[in-house]
Amino acid sequence: MGDIKAFLQPPVLNETKEVIISKRFKDENGKPVPFVIRVIDQETNDRLTKKATKSSKSGASAKDFDSMKYGKLLIDACVVTPNFKDSELCDYYKTVNPLDVPGRMLTAGEYKRLVNAILELNEITVSDEEFDELDEEAKNL
């Protein structure tokens, strides 16, 4: 029987990380400005997944998961800076929906780097190989 105290850890929601996803976004001195991303807990991730899942018209119990919508919701939940809800950003990128700002602001590569940084910070495995690596690390502890 293990020591329960090892599992009494504070929530991880305050953990943030600065990531440079593009050289296009610069401050007044010409230095790249980082995006600030944060960790979310599984409860928040469950809410995002639920929002991105809708009942299928083909059957009462069938569900359709919209991975594009989930990606937008994940970015919205994890990006602290810039604040995509800022009215100036929404106006500039000609949308009233903050979920659309990153898609209009970023190139496909920048968007992918941002998503990958969020997945990495939140330790969300994206492939069987990555899961196998984590499993192997756990066995070696």
Axis crossing angle, helix 42-51 with helix 67-78, rounded to the nearest 10: 140
Asked if residue 120 is part of any domain, the answer here is yes
Query: Which pTM was predicted?
Result: 0.78
Domain carrying residue 42: 13-52+63-139
Rounded Cα distance between 51 and 73, Å, is 8
Q: Output 127-132 pairs: Cβ under 8 A, ≥24 positions apart.
A: none
- Tell me how far CA of residue 107 lies from CA of 20, 24, 29, 83, 89, in angstroms: 14, 10, 23, 18, 16
pLDDT (tens digit, 0 to 9) for every residue of the chain, 141 residues total? 568 888 887 777 778 999 999 999 999 999 999 999 999 999 999 999 999 998 777 655 668 888 899 999 999 999 999 999 999 999 999 999 999 999 999 999 999 999 999 999 998 866 666 556 656 666 665
Asked if residue 5 is part of any domain, the answer here is no
Asked if 33 and 110 touch (Cβ cutoff 8 Å), the reply is no
Asked if residue 2 is part of any domain, the answer here is no
Task: Name residue, tokens 């976004």.
Answer: 25
* CATH number (domain holding residue 99): 3.30.2220.30
Asked if residue 17 is part of any domain, the answer here is yes
Q: How many domains does the chain have?
A: 1
